[in-house]
Amino acid sequence: MFHGIIFKERPSEDICHHLSAEANQLVFDPKHHHIVTKRFSNIWVAHETELSSVSFTEVHHPRRAIAMAWTRLDNMDELIQRHQLNPAITPAELILHLYFKLKEDCVKSLLGDFSFAIYDIDAQRLFCARDPMGVKPLYYYHHPLGFAFSTSLRFFHLLGTPTPRLEWVCKKLSHCIQGTSFEETVYHQVYRCLPAHYITITSDMFEKMRYFHFHNEKIHLKSSNEYVDYYEEHLDKAIRRRANVSHPLGAEQSGGLDSTSVTTYALQHFTLGSKNFHTFSFALYAKDPEAIFSVNQQHALHSAYVCCDPLWYLDTPNRACEVFGAPAHHEVAIQCEIFYQYAQRLGVRTLLSGFGGDECVTESNLQLYFYELLANQQYGHLLQAMPGNLLTRMLRTMRFLYLNHGDSCVPDNAIRQNLQTRWPVASIVTPSLTQQYQIKKTYDQLSQFSQGYNNLNAFILDYTLSPCSISARAEECTLMASHYGVEYAFPLLDVELIQCYLSIPSNEKYYRGQKRYLHRRAISKHLPSGITSRNSKNMGARMSPYNPKAFILNEDLHPGLLNILQKEKLRQQSQQLKIASAADLETPLLLQARRNIHTVNTLDTWLKYFYPKGCDWQV
């Protein structure tokens, strides 16, 4: 990780010494990480040596520059060979070389997960960029002292606690944070560099530019088997890039199709043997253990870490503040910290995740595919896509055509109806603020899901691959894992694999009601049939008991929250949860009440941590 600030005026020694001393607060694990700081002219920088690389060009170099990078580059060897560079070059040195040669286009040469910053001292020009999927975080702050940048929001608190944004908090409380600009953070004047973007800053210019887009052009192969082989080739390459490591390797294992695929293919390329391969799982439901251990047994894996309490982290409520410097955008990063702790003890330095499958390359929105076929008048393919025997498929096709006569887009759907039913419970912000920030309108827009779409790729690109869906989770998991010296890797978010999937015709992805048809065929020779044939995610009844702490509102809520909440409604919801049965806790309305309590407690903890004496909202 790295941090820096370009001062408007040359800073005093006292300011730089103070920053260098305070920067040690950013080290979560002093035994394994340490901070290195440096000041040059009007710039001060810091980086954690175990997690990032940095390059300071020599004074006699024709161009004086500082480069800092947090990377996992898949094509580093290829770039070294192409540009005839020293094989021992660091990622920061490589990126700096490419920048001097290609300017802003250097970022288009990089393949992998990365964020970096280059400061050209002579030109007084800062160039920052972030990988296409937003796995590595990068933030910036328009501070009165100058322009600050960092891979963690925690750094900006060293410059004076930034002002929190009331709109962000209200939408977070109303469970429609995806309706805010992902570029904006919870803090005023603190922004996120968006995935697939770069930023160029000089004294008189601030430019943001998107450098990468997925395209929607289809490939045309001779047979269905060729599409399967084409997809599997990309799947195998994406996993190999991340699994070919020389240290113990770990993988999250839910027993589902995505995580099992990653584990199985990773083992084909991991050279240290099954004794050095470890799986990490949550087992909450009746069928989870069987699904999880079937994979471990098939590959004779020696180590499987299984956690049965997904809310174990309630005993460490300040973790998001300590690591992220802000409320968690996505709860998974906090929940999975127990995996990173154990991975560190086992010497696991790379942890593979199946995240990204549902969102794209194993996308299972069968209903949307029907409407794509309808819009394109592909009635023969529609017949083939329906489940059942020939007569059943014919009847289902006729019924579908009759019900959707004159309408080729997804109509009202169950997800929207479910979310609309929850709104009276989800609405816990005061009516005046709900109206001021148009929260109900935002909530309604988000609840539409696939409504109005008739193209699978358009829905993937607009919705499931949006930064709020992908990068919010990936960047926080990356940050949390990094504090334990663990590199989080997401093979199913590989840009070449995603582009491969988008380029394959939709009729290769669904067949006779079977979802993920392309992926199932590609992996069928490697995975247990019980997993590849499963067409439902239902893992049975919940077996893990609920943690009572999850239903109890924090005592003495922060005054900043008390003024914006419907307090009586929250109190009643908390009381309902305390007396509800385990079965009732799974009902939609009480599930929403549980989310309310959890969100309020999370924001209360954050405000008390950074604003113990109260806060002035930026409205």
Average pLDDT, the chain: 90
Of the candidates 364, 360, 366, the residue with the CA atom closest to the CA atom of residue 470? 360
- pLDDT per residue over 521-564, tens digit each? 999 888 877 777 776 777 888 887 777 777 889 989 999 999 99
Range of weakest confidence among 49-58, 63-72, 186-195, 348-357: 49-58
Range of weakest confidence among 224-228, 273-277, 365-369: 365-369
Calculate the alpha carbon distances from 502 to 382, 469, 505 in Å.
20, 18, 8
- Residue 50: pLDDT over 70: no
pLDDT at 51 (0 to 100):
56
Residue-wise over 150-184: b if at least 16 C-beta within 10 A, else e?
bbbbbbbbbbeebbbbbbbbbbbbbbbbbbbebee
- Residue 41: pLDDT over 60: yes
Domain 224-361+463-532, CATH class in plain words:
alpha beta
pLDDT at 61 (0 to 100):
54
Backbone angles phi, psi at 511, to 5 degrees: -155, 120
Please state the rounded mean pLDDT for residues 34-51: 82
- Write down the pTM of the prediction: 0.93
Range of weakest confidence among 16-20, 26-30, 430-434, 575-579: 26-30
Residue, of 449 and 328, whose pLDDT is higher:
328
Q: Can you tell me the distance from the alpha carbon of 395 to that of 383, in angstroms, rounded to the nearest whole number? A: 9
pLDDT at 252 (0 to 100):
96
CATH superfamily of the 2-210 domain: Aminohydrolase, N-terminal nucleophile (Ntn) domain (3.60.20.10)
Q: Can you tell me the distance from the alpha carbon of 429 to that of 441, in angstroms, rounded to the nearest whole number? A: 14
Q: Quick one: pLDDT band at residue 569, thresholds 50, 70, 90? A: very high
Q: Token pair for residue 245?
A: 């490591």
Please state the rounded mean pLDDT for residues 343-355: 95
Dihedral angle, C-alpha 465, 466, 468, 470, nearest 10 °: 20
- Kindly tell me the sign of the dihedral angle through the C-alpha atoms of 313, 319, 321, 327: negative
Domain extent listing, the chain:
2-210, 224-361+463-532, 389-459, 548-610
Strand partners, 249: 277, 350
Q: Quick one: pLDDT band at residue 60, thresholds 50, 70, 90? A: very low
Residue, of 349 and 532, whose pLDDT is higher:
349
pLDDT at 56 (0 to 100):
54
Q: Can you tell me the distance from the alpha carbon of 189 to that of 609, in angstroms, rounded to the nearest whole number? A: 20
**3-class state of residue 48 by DSSP:** strand
Q: Quick one: pLDDT band at residue 58, thresholds 50, 70, 90? A: very low
